[in-house]
Amino acid sequence: MISVTPVSHGVLRPTILALALATSIRYAVDSVHGLERYQGLLYVILVGPVLVLVATRAWRWRSHKIHVTSQRLVVEYGAIRRVRTSVELRDVVLVRTQQGLGGRLAARGDVVVETVAGPWLVGTIRHPAALVRLIEAERSRRPESPWGYDDVVDPPFPWQSTDAPGYGWERA
């Protein structure tokens, strides 16, 4: 079983903002006389909400997991209300990635699984081609059905057997 954590969305910019605000408050306290009395209040009012935002986004990001087993693909997400979605590998028709120019430069992209029921967005991950190769490798290990989608099955009729008398139905 392989587990992958998708790419974090919206954690980096608020973290940089929180650091910039904390640095600005520290600089303002050192520059303005009498402001040191309100330093803690400034941190709570300006930096506190941004840190709460960073914490909730990081919690949501760390709670999102993709698991690939020998039989199925499972996606779990949700920090408080847990949601688990899975698809059998035998129901997977095609696995593909979607990447824009920025995604190719950052080695990030969306993995989309085409199933019998329709397309399913697994998530945005780093190195999506590696996950696609992993899913395809697990699919190739599974024994295929003896009947493909393009096979036409022509069952033998009783009058086509060698021991039955010919009734004119034989093929020429």
Instruction: For residue range 8-31, list pLDDT tens digits in order.
Output: 677 889 999 999 999 999 999 999
Domain final position from 62, 77, 92: 62
Kindly state whether residue 159 falls inside one of the protein's structural domains.
no
Are 39 and 69 found together in one domain? no
Do 14 and 26 lie in one domain? The reply is: yes
For 69-111, the pLDDT digits (tens) are 888 888 888 777 888 888 888 888 888 889 889 888 888 888 9
pLDDT tens by residue, 113-144: 998 888 888 888 888 888 888 888 888 876 55
**Are 137 and 95 members of one domain?**
yes
**20 within domain boundaries:** yes
Q: Degrees (nearest 5) of the Cα angle 164, 166, 168?
A: 145
- For residue 118, give the nearest of 87, 97, 139, 149 by alpha carbon: 87
Asked whether residue 24 falls in the same domain as residue 78, the answer is no
Same domain, residue pair 54 and 93: no
Q: Same domain for 110 and 58?
A: no
Looking at the fold, whether 82 and 130 belong to one and the same domain comes out as yes
What CATH number does the domain containing 99 carry?
A: 2.30.29.30
The model's pTM: 0.57
Domain range holding 90? 65-141
3-class SS of residue 2: strand
pLDDT at 52 over 90: yes
Task: Say how far apart CA 136 and CA 29 lie, in whole Å.
Answer: 58
Task: Classify residue 78: in a domain, yes or no.
Answer: yes
